[in-house]
Amino acid sequence: MDKVRIERLETQAVIGVYEFEHDGPQPLIIDLELETDFSRAFRSDDLNDALDYDAISQAVRAFCEASRYALLEALAGGIIRLIQDDFKVDRVGVLIRKPQALKGAVASVWCQRTREEMRQS
């Protein structure tokens, strides 16, 4: 399986379990790992047979900015569903960092699911 990685995608979201976290958006840094088969793209050299990194980045950014979640885990699940619904990706891995969540450290969550695993959850 072939992979595309989009690293350090900067966005923001209203996210958190504490009331003060709902006052406004907080910065997030997201890494995506997308698995698919690029065999057709090897031959065609056509973007339609590959993954459009820009379109994926814009979709994830817009999704995060419009979202309201308590948990990073729930946001990660939403991102996985979004990518699998809108793009030809077999497995999605997402790392979300919330740099302002902890003092002196960076909180993060890593989630990874195939299409089949998402149908079962």
Fold of 2-120: GTP Cyclohydrolase I, domain 2 (3.30.1130)
- Residues facing residue 2 across a β-bridge: 36
Please tell me the distance from the alpha carbon of residue 10 to that of residue 56, in angstroms, as a whole number. 13
- Residue 21 neighbours by CB under 8 Å, 6+ apart: 14, 15
- Cα 75 to Cα 3, 29, 41, 47, distances in angstroms: 22, 12, 31, 28
- Any idea where the domains of the chain sit in the sequence? 2-120
pLDDT per position as a tens digit, 29-86: 999 999 999 999 999 999 999 999 999 999 999 999 999 999 999 999 999 999 999 9
pLDDT per position as a tens digit, 72-114: 999 999 999 999 999 999 999 999 999 999 999 999 999 999 9
